Structure 1
Amino acid sequence: MYFLSKELYFPPVDEASFEGVLAIGGDLSIDRLLLAYRNGIFPWFDEDDPILWWSPPERMVVVPSIYKVSKSMRNLLNQNKFSVTFNQNFREVILGCQQIERPGQNGTWLSDDFVASYTKLHEMGIAKSVEVWQNDELVGGLYGIDLGHIFCGESMFSKVPNASKIAFVTLIKYLKEHNYKLLDCQVHNDHLEKLGAIEISRETFMKVLKSEEINFSSSIQQHGR
């Protein structure tokens, strides 16, 4: 594992551990965060621990061009219980992700420094949010880093059932309409899988990141999905 200094540097992603940890330490400066995301790396760590930088061997993603909205989600969208906006209240969304209680977790990994850095990235037009409203109340949303052809999802929250799902599916629709190649969901979890996310290899993810053309149907088949 590589220990970061003040130098803005990350080792090649194929030097990550079996679990996907590439480096430890450093900071959450804007320049380091941008260097990380542009090279397929993201921070993920407990609040009281050193910063861990990840590039997992299996990347959880959504391919907007081939994504199919489930029948249950289509029914939910058609009920018009929620309204959705983009980039109207980034700070409240990231604070919602920080403060929401999650089963099996004590506290949050979104430190105040993390919130400050990503808020700055939002002010630069790089970090973006999706807000879900019900009766003029913010009840859910998500945020992430926009690389132009890949949207790197960071976290989402719901105060009422299905609000984050609405944000997720609405974002995918937007990404498809604007020809994004991937929604990066980072690491596997059962909730994302139920929403239709799949795993691809780190090698495939890095090719897309570097703007290489990928036949996703063929790639997914080869990956055993």
Structure 2
Amino acid sequence: MKQVILFISILLISPLGVFAQDPAQIAVEGRSEIKAMPDEVLITVFLSEKAMETAAATEALNKKARQVSTALEESGVSDYELTADNYYVNVNRIYTTGTAKDSGYVASQNLKILVKDTDQDLVKIIQSLHVAADMGFRMEYRLSEDTRKSYQEKLLQLAIADAQRKAAIISKSLNIDHLSIYKINYHSGVSFEPVVYREESMRMKAADQRTAPTLNPEEQTLTDQISIIFSFDSRD
């Protein structure tokens, strides 16, 4: 029993015990923002075909996909990437009041076209899609991976500088000297949201006669943030 009491007493008087207090702190959030022009466009083409048999629906869908591929090859543009995803075949189920009736099948697929040039090549691609087939598609102006990476270091530097500036203002206003970095929290990374451009108005049929589109992409905003906690001696 004496040994237990002695051990507890040592913990209570130890300077490294559980009663050590955190230093006085100032927590600030540093933010940064950079404007940048998108340097690539992702076009998503939505294909869909109905038929009474799955084989017929699939063949009709494949025919549309070949039409799009051929149109792209004939556009004269070489710097693009074409991929396909979200392929599926579902029962064409028609719902009426209180009942459901199956009427063949629906085959669907999305084609994704990544265009590296947001100027003339993009216009040529869109014009080729106008006449390829009856379809709908949408455009997303984006920043390429290389461009985003090129801005990451600058954004972080600006966020850190913003945090330091805020901490300096607070410490000066409160007559606090000798700030030291106590803790840094950085998890966000660069934030950028692709912009969908005129999704509804880009739906069209092959028979439509349209002039070359006028496309005016806007600058997009990249942001970053960091949290820095500064400690100081509250006895100053």
Give the TM-score band, short-chain normalised: under 0.3
**TM-score, normalising length from structure 2?**
0.20
**TM-score, normalising length from structure 1?**
0.21
* Rg (Cα) greater in structure: 2
